[in-house]
């Protein structure tokens, strides 16, 4: 396994997330464009978008193994688990959010808003009350506009029982990555077209009630604010130019303090916690990477 070193440290606090031997490790390459990493059971699921499949990375005594978990996948992007351990997928070409049950049945849970087809659901997170929150930019549409029925790109929530889809945010050009603070009082959403992260305060029912721009990642370099994850101390890990941008915990609506970056040889698109919860897996264009850290990620799936 090849190792690649590199950190861009902005604040001394950045070192709190590192072990003595923390280093970015290369896992595999040769994919078309990978996204949506998700640790499930003892391996990593991820979306190989142009190849229309959800792949599965596992490690055995013989070494790493990449297999196909689901094909076709609807050109899936973001993946997560609901509270029962069912797989939730954002699908570009089918323009829906789906659930794959533990018995292997795949069903839609969100396809339309007020009778109009969704754009191309992108990323997804599940709140502890069971609500599925997801973003819906136009990236999966030809030329990002062909067949577009909605006049906006939304952030929505829905339950998996088929209840009506609820629009929460409609004023972002390209909402993409999405994550909750550990106490679920704040919601982070990236706008990948404009390279920034917003943080929203949520009311007692989980709806946005206030907003502030948390971070601007527009450095002029290649890469954008895309997938985003949180650790149990509230630090924010966002993909961006050069690698994974790590921000200090935020206790309220405030500008984020950049602690530093985990540098990568490819432009990252998303990340996810896995193994024992302290390994950050990263999807970056054609490759998979991971780094072992001295912190733990917020829970996904059954709580």
Distance CA 178, CA 181 (A): 10
Distance CA 107, CA 158 (A): 14
Per-residue confidence band for 163, with pLDDT thresholds at 50, 70 and 90: confident
Confidence of residue 5 (pLDDT cuts 50, 70, 90): low
Q: How many domains does the chain have?
A: 1
Residue 14: its pLDDT value, please? 94
Bridge partners of 247? 236, 258
| 302 inside domain | no
Residue 11 lies in a domain: yes
Query: Is 301 contained in some domain?
Result: no
Domain enclosing residue 124, as ranges: 3-292
What is the arithmetic mean of pLDDT over 118-146?
Answer: 97
Taking a C-beta distance cutoff of 8 angstroms, is the pair 124, 107 a contact? no
Task: Tell whether the model's pLDDT for residue 149 goes beyond 80.
Answer: yes
| pLDDT band at residue 150 using 50, 70 and 90 as cut-offs | very high
Share of the chain above pLDDT 90, in %: 92
Whether 303 is in a domain gets the answer: no
Residue 138's pLDDT is what?
A: 97
The token pair at 64 is: 């790493």
Asked whether the predicted pLDDT for residue 241 surpasses 80, the reply is yes
- pLDDT at 123 > cutoff 80: yes
- Return the percentage of the chain with pLDDT > 70, whole number: 98
- Give the sign of the dihedral formed by CA 50, CA 28, CA 4, CA 60: positive
pLDDT band at 3 (very low <50, low <70, confident <90, very high): very low
Split at pLDDT 50, 70, 90, the class of 117 is very high
Q: Tokens at residue 94, please?
A: 């089918």
Does residue 17 sit in helix, strand or coil? helix
Residue 4 has pLDDT above 80, yes or no: no
Q: Tell me, yes or no, whether 299 lies in a domain.
A: no
Asked if residue 297 is part of any domain, the answer here is: no
Q: Taking 80 as the threshold, does the pLDDT of residue 119 lie above it?
A: yes
Given a contact cutoff of 8 angstroms between Cβ atoms, the answer to whether 246 and 263 are in contact is no
Domain with 182 in it: what CATH number? 2.120.10.30
pLDDT, residue 252, reads 85
Q: Is 298 among the domain residues?
A: no
pLDDT grade for 239, boundaries at 50, 70 and 90: very high
Residue 162 pLDDT greater than 80, yes or no:
no
What is the residue-averaged pLDDT of the chain? 95
Mean pLDDT of 63-68: 86
Q: Is the pLDDT of residue 1 over 60?
A: no
> CA-CA distance, 189 to 218, in Å (whole number)?
15
- Please compute Rg for the chain using Cα positions: 18
pLDDT of residue 160: 86
Confidence of residue 52 (pLDDT cuts 50, 70, 90): very high
pLDDT above 60: residue 183:
yes
Distances (CA, A) of 90 to 221, 265, 276: 28, 27, 25
Residue 80 lies in a domain: yes
Which one has a higher pLDDT value, 76 or 161?
A: 76
């Amino acid at each position: 396994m090849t190792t690649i070193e590199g950190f861009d440290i902005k604040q001394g606090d950045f070192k709190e997330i590192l072990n003595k031997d923390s280093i970015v490790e290369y896992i595999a390459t040769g994919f078309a464009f990978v996204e949506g990493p998700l640790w499930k059971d003892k391996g990593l699921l991820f979306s190989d978008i142009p190849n229309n499949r959800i792949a599965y990375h596992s490690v055995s005594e013989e070494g790493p193994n990449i297999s196909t978990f689901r094909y076709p996948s609807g050109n899936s992007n973001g993946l997560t688990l609901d509270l029962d351990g069912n797989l939730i997928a954002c699908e570009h070409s089918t323009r829906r959010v789906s659930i794959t049950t533990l018995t292997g049945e795949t069903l839609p849970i969100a396809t339309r808003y007020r009778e109009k087809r969704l754009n191309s659901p992108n990323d997804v997170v599940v709140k502890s009350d069971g609500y599925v929150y997801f973003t819906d930019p136009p990236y999966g549409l030809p030329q990002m506009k062909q067949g577009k029925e909605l006049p906006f790109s939304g952030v929505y929530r829905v339950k998996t029982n088929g209840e009506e889809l609820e629009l929460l945010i409609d004023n972002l050009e390209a909402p993409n990555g999405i994550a909750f603070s550990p106490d679920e009082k704040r919601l982070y959403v990236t706008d990948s077209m404009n390279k920034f992260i917003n943080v929203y305060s949520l009311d007692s029912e989980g709806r946005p009630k206030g907003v502030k721009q948390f971070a601007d990642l527009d450095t002029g370099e290649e890469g954008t604010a895309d997938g985003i994850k949180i650790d149990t101390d509230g630090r924010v890990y966002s993909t961006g130019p050069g690698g994974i941008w790590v921000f200090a915990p935020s206790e309220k609506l405030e500008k984020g303090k950049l602690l530093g970056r985990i540098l990568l040889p490819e432009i990252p698109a998303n990340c996810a916690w896995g193994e024992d919860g302290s390994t950050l897996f990263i999807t970056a264009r054609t490759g998979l990477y991971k780094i072992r850290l001295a912190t733990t990620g917020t829970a996904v799936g059954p709580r």
